[in-house]
A and B are shown apart, each in its own frame.
With several copies, the nearest count.
Chain A
Amino acid sequence: MDAYRKDFPAINQSINDNKLVYLDSAASSQMPTSVIDEVARYQMNDHANVHRGIHTLSHRATMVYEKTRQDLSDFINAKNTNEIIFTSGTTESINLVAQSYCRPKLNKNKKILISHLEHHSNIVPWQIVCEQTQSSLEIAPINNKGEIITEDLISMIDESVVLISISHVSNALGSVSEVKKIIQAAHKNGVPVLVDGAQSIPHIKVDVEELNADFYVFSGHKMHAPTGTGILYGKEDLLEKMPPYKSGGDMILEVKFTGTTYNDLPYKFEAGTPNISGIAGLGAAVGYLRKIGMINIESHEKNLLDYMSSELKNVDGINLIGNADNKIGVQSFTLENIHSHDIGTILDHQGVAIRTGHHCAMPVMEFFGISGTARASLALYNNKEDIDCLVAGLHKVNEVFS
């Protein structure tokens, strides 16, 4: 996979007189030249507003935009492009489902079920909609390895649950949840499931049909595409019945002061001028990932994560947080008596970029009784040398604090 490193200009630079070692892809990944170039190409040649014009540029912009929709539909194996809604990111996708799908169905006898492992974006929208509707938010527990306890979650499912919303992969710990099993159990009770795929989509092959997920959401910027792009996949029959979330241009058929008729899927949910150049880049990113092959990415990263977790054990005072049996992409850790921020700063001065703090997953931190961790996360462009630099950097941290 080292051959792909040269495709990423951002990782081929020096930081603080050291070669950059970028181990923060779980926060946001870097873009290959093909994505950066496609954004620029689009802006230089094809830009215009979409769907609204009959001149050539408007047509080209619409083609670029709709081609990405087709690419994504193929990439995750959706039934058709009506199931692919463009949003600004995972956060917006979840808010959309909370407000449009759940809010009308919720009342004081109803529940939303999530887990203790979730990112704030998969907690706060549920807290808010539950408060708005006097319904309750139920939290499925996790174990000491940092895994959702699947049986406990399943035992919490009954007809009062309006939706289950869980992450496919935890951003704080890398734990892979037993999504398929949970979905099967949920469907037996007639309960739909939203899967937060922000941390799975860049790392493993996702097939929404095989998972039988009702909603699947993710962000472009974690899969080597520009920020400000995201996807809400939803089963067509669910999306059909949902009222619009945002409203404005493009999502209507007819506007009269006496009443407005909404447009069909997917446009009903895409009010206003979308992030067309970002979507152009997202199409290029999907093309890039497909060219390499998700299977190759998965096995490369698996080897690397094994290497990282075992090398990290050599660092004095280290405590690995999150030891799920099935884990991908990230390793969280703490160092005895050293705050994660101090680790981050001293590593940064050696060119090693990791994330520190609560990773927008405060309840996970609370569970482990810590205020934060240091987290090294992987992408297809990382290699063993990166990990060696991380480990060397951590020795240095210990030395400063000794």
Chain B
Amino acid sequence: MANLKSDKADITKLYKELVIKHASNPYNFGSLKSDAVRSTGINPLCGDKLEIYISTHNDTIKKIRFEGVGCAISIASASMLTEILKDTSISEAKKIAWSFISELSSNRELSENDFIKNNKELSILCAVKDFPTRIKCVNLSWQTFLSAFDDDIKITSTE
């Protein structure tokens, strides 16, 4: 007979509170036409593939969309990314992306970054730190976003 004790609360909590809401109905899902910057991200472990489209005006991100296939966590992360970075300046957006990625690789319980601390959903998403195999799923969209502004790298891989 199956011998299952109770789950750690957090994984189902993370899914139920945040991930499924975004993943089942992601924000800004779709593409932009050819004048937008386009950046591709791949996670070779899962075969996930993400395209992010960014259209800017006067150094501000006016539109941002994504499409692709991925697990609920990576889709949710991309959905949140588009919501958060829309209407910010490119330099501000890059700063947020960098802080969030480095937050995920830190050992801190609670973020010291003001932006992350003050964003409820990002704070919850940080709980993925407890599931290290999935950090790359969260990372994928953020790294793909950053590589859009780096001429050398056009395909991002999280491994």
Contact = CB atoms under 8 A, between A and B. Distances in A.
Direct A/B contact, Cβ within 8 angstroms: yes
Interface of A: 16-19, 51-55, 58-59, 63, 252-254, 261, 263-264, 267, 338-342, 345-346, 348-351, 356-358, 362, 365, 371-372, 385, 388-389, 391-393, 396, 400-401
A388 B15 contact: no
Interface stretch (B31-39, B111-119, B127-135): B127-135
Contact of B159 (A17, A264, A371): A264
Given A339-B71, A350-B4, A351-B4, A345 B159 contact: no
B150 interface: no
A341 B155 contact: no
A18 B159 contact: no
A391 B20 CA distance: 22
Contact of A345 (B1, B16, B131): B131
B7 A253 contact: no
Contacts of A263: 44, 157, 159
6 contacts: A340-B71, A342-B72, A346-B7, A349-B8, A371-B49, A371-B69
Interface in B26-81: 42, 44-49, 69-73
A345 B11 contact: yes
A12 B137 CA distance: 30
Contact of B12 (A17, A58, A346): A346
B84 to A, nearest CB: 22
Nearest to A351: B4
The 7 closest A-B pairs by CB, nearest first: A341-B71, A339-B71, A54-B133, A392-B2, A388-B2, A358-B47, A389-B2
A385 B1 contact: yes
Given A254-B42, A400-B16, A341 B73 contact: yes
Given A254-B44, A371-B46, 6 more contacts: A16-B8, A59-B133, A338-B72, A341-B134, A342-B71, A385-B1
A2 B7 CA distance: 27
Given A252-B44, A254-B42, A401-B20, A342 B15 contact: yes
B131 to A, nearest CB: 6
B3 interface: yes
B78 to A, nearest CB: 13
A267 B133 contact: no
B159 A51 contact: yes
A391 B47 CA distance: 25
Point out which of B72, B73, B132, B133 has the most chain A C-beta atoms below 10 A from its C-beta: B133
Contacts of A59: 132-133
A52 B5 contact: no
Contact of B157 (A63, A264, A342, A392): A264
B36 to A, nearest CB: 23
Given A52-B45, A345-B131, A357-B47, A392 B137 contact: no
A362 B132 CA distance: 24
Interface in B118-159: 131-134, 137, 155, 157, 159
A152 B78 CA distance: 43
Contacts of B45: 51-52, 54, 357
Contacts of B131: 345
Contacts of A348: 133
Nearest to B13: A400
Contacts of A396: 4, 7
A389 B5 CA distance: 11
Contacts of A358: 46-47
A389 B47 CA distance: 27
Contacts of B44: 252-254, 263
A178 to B, nearest CB: 29
